[in-house]
Structure 1
Amino acid sequence: MGGVSLQDDTVTAPTAADVRRWRRYLADERAEAAVYRNLAARRSGEERDILAALAEAEGRHEQHWVELLGEDVGRPQRGSLRTRVLASLAKRFGSVFVLALMQRAEDRSPYADDADATAQMAADERIHGEVVRGLANRGRMRLSGTFRAAVFGANDGLVSNLALIIGISASGADRHFVLLSGIAGLLAGALSMGAGEYVSVRSQRELLDASAPHPEAGRAVADLDVDANELALVYRARGMSEADATEHAAQVLSGIGERSPATGGIVTTADHEAVGTGLSAAVSSFCFFASGAVIPVLPFLFGMQGWAAIAVAGALVGLALLGTGAVVGVLSGASPGRRALRQLAIGFGAAVVTYALGLLFGTGNA
């Protein structure tokens, strides 16, 4: 007997189509288990344990298809190209990108609509998607600030300098002037981005410092009147309810509550994410903007001019926009293709508007 059909209570031989489908599922389960094992090998602590447990669960699913196939299991097949690429990436990098792609893979599991897969397996795949989503979110949180600056800076450089170059070209300027304008736009935009990021980060750090408890207030806690004090008002001002503030103040004064030497128990009620230094943020923003802004300049830098240079610049920028859009889609767990096309449409839309304005003013000057 080649296998057992789960569609009814009778034991029947599987069709050739069944065997092909089951063997494909088996290969994919083995490949997905390899992804989780490779990811676990590059992690430690709790994340390593979670990924190892996911690999073990995929092994249970693998065994289901092995038992269903019976003698028809045949030689091991390779999983889908997508899953094999993910396994390779997981082994070499183990990054949040792989987790984000695995999240989409788990969400697209066909088991819910396949009668030969058990309800438990379909439920497992759905839960696996949420587990991987949680692990991916940890990585997203760790790189969110840098990633936001990279995407925003590079896209700003791509779109603004392409629009500038197209607008200048449409006005009838020669190649030398277009090239100088592109370089000037690169430097001006990069410096502006760097300065803006520096001011933004410095201002944020100053706001956080202004919210921290004053050291003298902490040292004053020891001298407060236990029966009549305003320590509870401090906690209420920082967001605690009246009852919680009164209880916490009593604990601090009695020595039960945690009291740091710097604050004397006067603590904030919210955690602030690390914002980095103003200088590092400025340098990063400068580099990200410049990396995008240099791309539309390249054709003019290598001697091209006119429509040929504009076409090449547009093609290069289009590829870069598609790439950044796809990366955003992967990390957000959304469709990379849709995000890439959205990025392309926005970038080229701005360039077309600028070209029209350049053409208008160029004609007017003529």
Structure 2
Amino acid sequence: MEHVQPDPAQASPAERRRWARYLADERAEAAVYRRLARRRAGDEREILVQLADAERRHEQHWLRLLGGEPARMPRASVRTRVTAWLATRFGSIFTLALAQRAEARSPYESDPFATPAMSADEKVHHEVVRGLAARSRRRLSGTFRAAVFGANDGLVSNLALVMGIGATGVSGSFVMFSGIAGLLAGALSMGAGEFVSVRSQRELLDATEPNDFAHAGLPDLDIDENELALVYRTRGMREDEAIARARKLVGDAHQGRMPAPTAAQDDHEVIGGAWRAAASSFCFFAGGAIIPVLPWIFGLSGLIAVVLALALVGIALLVTGATVGLLSGSAPLPRALRQLAIGFGAAAVTYLLGLLFGVSVA
């Protein structure tokens, strides 16, 4: 169905103010993409430059409806300004994640003065930015996973530990040393576990991915009688493709043309390094686990220490949850509240158990 746009001359002052806001947002988003492009190279830079040019097309649409530059240009939305600030300071995956969400929230689909092509553009832009953000997520996924899980586990486990022990009625120094012991035990366990996990995954990949083990014997193979085609059939090729590939490789080898080495796969990059993941897990677990113990380290005890520990851990859980939500391209607030509910739920269980099995202090 053909899109019939309302007559811009009949637009109300409120609608014209909305166009001006759209214009400000388009300019700010284009500036974000240009700033990100300056921090990238190769095809990523080119993609971001083309996105900035596309935002200029939308900018021109609103300028035409407004009849030129508005006398009073409004500020861009808060989300767009935050994204622009991040692009200026960091140029990181956080910026791409925010830009991804901004493209997904485009109001053009329901605005009668926006064209269907503009709405379709925004959907495509969302997928483009999502793809760029996915590249960055892949580059940091191994270490980031260890860091986030380490920090979150440190926060939750040590909060539950000090809440449970504190509820039994023991002295503040006992709670503090228990918390420090839990920090060291948990951090060492997390670091060792992460090292074994990542190293095992990398060894499994090394054992399963294709390699060039058979290439050294290619010149000695009979061009008509060999099983090289079976190698390629095990890798998913059809029989005719595998035979043609094997015949070509053996023929080239007989003429002195050896195949190029097999390119390394991306899975190792996704998993990350074992030592790096272990160190990140240890440090971030320790960093998270120290927070619930801080009130007792500074000499507080009783209800004041408990309330302060809950407040500090609550803030940290909200931050880690929002960060995971933001980097995954979803809304940060639900993830933040989920982390908070999980952490406080675990602490509530151990606190009640501490009350149930409480001790009397002379």
TM-score by length of 1: 0.89
1:99 pairs with one of 90, 96, 99: 96
Shift of 1:162: 0.4
- How many pairs are equivalent? 357
Q: 1:179 to 1:28 in 2, by over 3 A?
A: same
Q: d(CA) in 1 for partners of 2:273 and 2:21?
A: 51
Q: d(CA) in 1 for partners of 2:137 and 2:351?
A: 37
Of residues 222-231 and 44-53 in structure 1, the stretch that sits farther from structure 2 once superposed is 222-231
2:116 pairs with one of 119, 130, 150: 119
Structure 1 segment 23-102 matched on structure 2, within 5 A: 23-70=20-67, 73-102=70-99
Q: d(CA) in 2 for partners of 1:45 and 1:269?
A: 20
Q: d(CA) in 2 for partners of 1:343 and 1:260?
A: 58
Shift of 1:319: 0.6
- What's 2:312 paired with? 316
Q: 1:79 to 1:214 in 2, by over 3 A?
A: closer
2:12 pairs with one of 12, 15, 19: 15
2:343 pairs with one of 322, 338, 347: 347
Task: Provide the aligned C-alpha RMSD in A.
Answer: 2.8
2:292 pairs with one of 288, 292, 296: 296
Shift of 1:71: 6.1
Structure 1 segment 126-275 matched on structure 2, within 5 A: 126-211=123-208, 217-255=214-252, 272-274=267-269, 275=271
Structure 1 segment 1-12 matched on structure 2, within 5 A: 6-8=5-7, 12=9
- What's 2:277 paired with? 281
Q: d(CA) in 1 for partners of 2:162 and 2:149?
A: 20
Q: d(CA) in 1 for partners of 2:257 and 2:311?
A: 58
- What's 1:335 paired with? 331
Shift of 1:151: 0.7
Q: 1:67 to 1:266 in 2, by over 3 A?
A: closer
Shift of 1:131: 1.1
**One-letter amino acid of the structure 2 residue matched with residue 190 of structure 1:** A
Cα contact 1:202–1:278 (8 A) shared by 2? yes
Shift of 1:206: 2.8
**One-letter amino acid of the structure 2 residue matched with residue 318 of structure 1:** G
Q: d(CA) in 2 for partners of 1:66 and 1:297?
A: 57
Shift of 1:230: 2.1
Of residues 289-298 and 50-59 in structure 1, the stretch that sits farther from structure 2 once superposed is 50-59
Higher relative contact order (CA 8 A, sep 6+): 2
**One-letter amino acid of the structure 2 residue matched with residue 281 of structure 1:** A
Cα contact 1:54–1:128 (8 A) shared by 2? yes
Shift of 1:269: 10
Shift of 1:260: 9.9
Q: d(CA) in 1 for partners of 2:88 and 2:265?
A: 37
Cα contact 1:323–1:340 (8 A) shared by 2? yes
**One-letter amino acid of the structure 2 residue matched with residue 333 of structure 1:** G
Cα contact 2:143–2:276 (8 A) shared by 1? no
Of residues 227-236 and 176-185 in structure 1, the stretch that sits farther from structure 2 once superposed is 227-236
Listed as ranges, the gaps of 5+ residues in structure 1 are none
Q: d(CA) in 2 for partners of 1:236 and 1:268?
A: 19
Q: d(CA) in 1 for partners of 2:232 and 2:299?
A: 66
Q: 1:268 to 1:240 in 2, by over 3 A?
A: farther
Shift of 1:256: 7.5
Shift of 1:222: 2.5
Shift of 1:21: 1.2
Q: d(CA) in 2 for partners of 1:186 and 1:154?
A: 11
Q: 1:269 to 1:282 in 2, by over 3 A?
A: closer
Q: 1:49 to 1:238 in 2, by over 3 A?
A: closer
Cα contact 1:234–1:266 (8 A) shared by 2? no
Shift of 1:72: 7.5
Q: d(CA) in 2 for partners of 1:116 and 1:12?
A: 12
Cα contact 1:239–1:269 (8 A) shared by 2? no
SS at match of 1:250: helix
Cα contact 2:104–2:122 (8 A) shared by 1? yes
**One-letter amino acid of the structure 2 residue matched with residue 51 of structure 1:** L
1:209-255 deviations in Å (ceiling 9; x for gaps): 43467876442332223332222233333444433333322222111
Q: 1:360 to 1:242 in 2, by over 3 A?
A: farther
